[in-house]
Chain A
Amino acid sequence: MINEAFIFDAIRSPRGKKKGGALNEVTPVDLVSKLMKTLARKHELDTSQVDDVVLGCVTPIGDQGANVAKTSAQFAGWDIDVPGMQINRFCASGLETVNMAAMKVRSGWEDLVVAGGVESMSRVPMGSDGGAMAFEPKVNSKTDFVTQGIGADLVATMEGFSRKDLDEYAAISQSRASTASKNGRFKSLIPIKDQNGLMILDKDEHIRPGITVDDLGALKPSFEIMGQMGFDAVALQKYSGVETINHVHTAGNASGIVDGAALVLVGTEEKGKELGLKPRARVVSAALVGMDPTIMLTGPGPATKKALKKAGMALSDIDLLEVNEAFAAVVLRFLKDMGKNDIDNVNVNGGSIAMGHPLGATGAMLLGTALDELETRDLSTGLITLCVGGGMGIATIIERV
């Protein structure tokens, strides 16, 4: 007897810009707490019934250190009976927590779990938590460390994606996001206000409405210099069939650095009935894969295939896809891997290129975005997938109920 895992709600904060962004003044714990208070209020939730809070955070130090999940639950005034845990699967963290929540529920040992994530990149810069992969030379060397942008440029080079291909994709993301933002398609976006009820941010402010391919074409490649210094050499020594790496990724066709948080409420059907929670979707399957850390960003294809296999489904069964736009090449490579040549049902409301990628939260945000749009279009099935720095991939399939 499997206890199906149902998603009762998925909410998120808007994403704040890094420089001069509106969420820079909001501490991470405060940001999560605001969402927690909203979630509890919205569902008249008896928080003592929450078995665990699992939040993703990729740079869990300083303001977001010391188990930001448990701290936020306490600060939000949730019942003292609520435990919490912070996890780190890099960019996949936000989705990983949903998968973990589903597993906890399906195991029969927990009935109600809050998943999600938070990342305040303007306050706690990416990489400021150190780590051996980059900063311990013997580890760096053995694992052929390169920065993610190099991996992205390598993918683009090997697949023959031109700068124009990437910028065109980026412009579409921006356009879709801009339209969706204006038309209120992000139903689960919770405006962030201060302690006095004054508005701090009520929309994703990283979006550049009206930006053109030409505008994007004017930007300089971000990873050329560090590539030439040595990272390209490391990559080319491994991918010996490649002559040179084309540095085609820029700030405009890669994900934005932003602040944001998201929560997803997952539980059993019974628990839902007991607490008056109406399920919006069911978690159908989840999958993880690993791959070469140097190219690192090709995980979405394999992870998606694995998840589909677990679910006994085909790609054609999926109505909407959210493929994290860590870099434009990631999405284009995914399409190729899956034998798809259109983006009609992929990232239909834009993605991280336009709105930003708050590392620990993005996975949960993409799930909420997919769910909102499935409901709006009255469609059934969604698949969310992300690449992961360092060489992993994750995918989750959800189905409306």
Chain B
Amino acid sequence: MGFDYQKDEQNIVTITMDMEGRSTNVINTEFHLLMSEALEKIQADKSVTGVVLTSGKKTFLAGGDLEMLYGFTDPQDVFNSSQLFKDKTRTMETLGVPVVAAINGAAIGGGFELTLACHHRIAIDSPKTKIGLPEVTLGLLPGGGGVARLPRVIGLEAAFPFLLEGKQVKPGAALKAGLIDNLASDRDDLMAKAKAWILANPESAQPWDQKGYKMPGGNPQHPKVAQMLAIAPAILKKKTQGNYPAPEAIMNAAVEGALVDIDTALRIETRYFIQLATGKVSKNMINAFWFQMNEITSGASRPKDIPPTDTQKLGVLGSGMMGHGIAYVSALSGIEVVMTDATQESADKGLAAIAKIMQKKVDKGRMAQEKMDTVLGQINATDDYSKLDGCDLIIEAVYEDRELKAKVTAVTESVMDPTGVFGSNTSTLPVTGLAERSSRPESFIGIHFFSPVDKMKLVEIIVGEKTSDDALAKAFDYVLKIHKIPIVVNDSRGFYTSRVFGTYPTEGMALLAEGHHPREIESAGMKAGMPVGPLALADEVSLGLMAHIRNQTRKDLEAEGKKIPESPFDPVIELMVEKEKRLGRAAGGGFYEYDEKHKHLWPGLREHFPPCENPIPQEEMIERMMFVQALDTVRCYEENVLTSIADANIGSIFGWGFAPFKGGTLQFINDYGVKAFADRSQELAAKYGDRFAPPQLLKDMAEKREYFN
């Protein structure tokens, strides 16, 4: 196999990329050889009138070999590899005969970039034929000529969303945006249209290889473009806080490339690509979003010897915010759902909330009315527990109260499928304890969703002491079925996500108690790469809830004869919750005051937490906020709450927005340097307390020069 080469009666050559032994075509050494061969054949044959480039796989071309790229450390190697592809595409687009890209399937990244080096692009109009340049999401840039060519095709401003955000579109939208030139209904139509275009356009050259070429919309010196460019870096900085080198590099490469000829533009693109590829951020992001994400979705944390399961009938107990969210995403994936509540009225309210979510989408044209009707039809909202009969999976999402949970567990277990699995959406109550009130603790498991359920991709599966592999496999498969990301942790107080994420707002509070300016604290949190500042986050989560959990933990530990260690944030919680009754955003105000459109810091903060004499620099605040999260993750790993590094990293990013550019809480440590991190933790511990003390596991790893991978 390889590349199939056919010449027809009109001397049109069709190259069908069909690399052997793989499900997708990919740009690697073999690809280069095959492409060289094909191009040489065409160049040697003067009778060729045109070329159709297509694929024999389901997708057009997958793009560059990420494994190979991830391994590169020498800039010269990346340069040579990049220029190799670029030389071929330049040859292809200057053949002197028309070259048409017949896009039969998804053309993403390098795949789409290859089509940009063709003179005409046609795609089969199917929702599966996604088109886009997602490299920025891995901390890279479209290094196959996309940065140099896309602005030359559609203009700089139009190209920016695709280059800077990695926007992917379906063929209809791609046509509208100018990424492709025509649509086809199926393969036959595709090939017919491609050949027709060739015959109608016998002398093709790229616009940028023709005299008098002007970039659509103007080049960077055009007044309109210049105006946009003057503010573009600021718009970017607002989003990235300067933490993401990729969008900046893309903007630089695109603009600088727009001022020179195509070959120079391609070389400039290569230089910025090298800068990103050999830098830390892309390594962190590729590690997380490619390697570790693939590891997770291919079931690394799923028990190996359990055959695939398929949830048919789901029972969701509780129609509150979490409950109806879970019911919604499950029904959306085709699962039959029974959603219960104490009263029919409450259950109906939950269903109405689901309808509201979908109505918004229908109104915006993002969901078909039929789909909405189908989904609603799959959900039975009721107060009658007997309707749960035959459910092979239950997710209990009632109030965080042991007795209430025990009660609904008992009732449900008496009607559900006895071989089914009982999941609890508890966010803090240890699952083993809850399982003690179950009649089948081996089928009891924690399935912890995040709010808002329809938007948050992570689901934390918690394995209790007695939970069986079957139950785990069932839960795991269910989470994948509803298109979410499963991580698996062992039972403990706070599990992984609730426990570790909490260290961020509490560290912010500790800083506040020390007398640091609340704005500086929030600004440090944003600069660290967190989605919001620690104090704003505490308000969102609810100070009241944090106080409640703290009290519960204190009580539980006392019941075990232990005492809860004192924390620097205790006085803050006490003051805000007990004294000032400022419980958070939902309760009308917390660290912030909220009005219709804005929030601003409560002026009382400086009064109650007077400014300190020698504030620490922002870098140290950032370190403290990130180190506490990383260190507690290590402890989870040491304590066997976490058994997978991928789960730790992905869980932190998707669970609470831990700085994606650092690749997750454990990758953060690799990025810092394990030994350097351990040493710095020691220093911070001496200054600020035990929560910074490096765990033994970390100290051992530092000594053995090991990394978290």
Contact = CB atoms under 8 A, between A and B. Distances in A.
Contact of A25 (B79, B221, B267, B278): B267
Given A25-B267, A25-B268, A62-B221, A197 B260 contact: no
B271 A198 contact: yes
A25 B275 contact: no
A24 interface: yes
Contacts of A187: none
A316 interface: no
B267 A198 contact: no
Nearest to A200: B271
A115 to B, nearest CB: 28
B76 A198 contact: yes
A400 interface: no
A196 B259 contact: no
Interface residues of A, number: 11
A195 interface: yes
Given A25-B267, A25-B268, A62-B221, A195 B260 contact: no
B264 A27 contact: no
Contact of B275 (A62, A63, A123, A196): A196
Say which size band chain B's interface belongs to. Answer: 10 to 19
A62 B260 CA distance: 14
B256 A27 contact: yes
Interface in B260-300: 260, 264, 267-268, 271-272, 274-275, 278
A194 interface: yes
B267 A197 contact: no
A195 B271 contact: yes
Q: Give the interface SS of chain B, mostly helix, strand, loop or mixed.
A: helix
A205 B486 CA distance: 59
B207 interface: no
Interface in B24-79: 75-76, 79
A198 B274 CA distance: 10
A25 B274 contact: no
Given A25-B268, A62-B221, A196 B278 contact: yes
Nearest to B79: A198
Contacts of A198: 75-76, 79, 271, 274
Contacts of B268: 25
Contacts of B272: 195
B275 A195 contact: yes
A117 B271 CA distance: 26
Nearest to A198: B75
Contact of A196 (B75, B221, B260, B267): B75
Nearest to A63: B259
A24 B256 CA distance: 10
A27 B275 CA distance: 17
A24 B260 contact: yes
B256 A196 contact: no
Interface in B213-254: 221
A25 B264 contact: yes
Contact of B259 (A123, A194, A195, A197): A123
A66 to B, nearest CB: 11
Interface of B: 75-76, 79, 221, 256, 259-260, 264, 267-268, 271-272, 274-275, 278
Given A25-B264, A196-B274, 5 more contacts: A24-B264, A195-B271, A195-B272, A195-B275, A198-B274
28 contacts: A24-B260, A24-B264, A25-B256, A25-B260, A25-B264, A25-B267, A25-B268, A27-B256, A62-B221, A63-B259, A123-B259, A123-B260, A194-B271, A194-B274, A195-B271, A195-B272, A195-B275, A196-B75, A196-B79, A196-B271, A196-B274, A196-B278, A197-B75, A198-B75, A198-B76, A198-B79, A198-B271, A198-B274
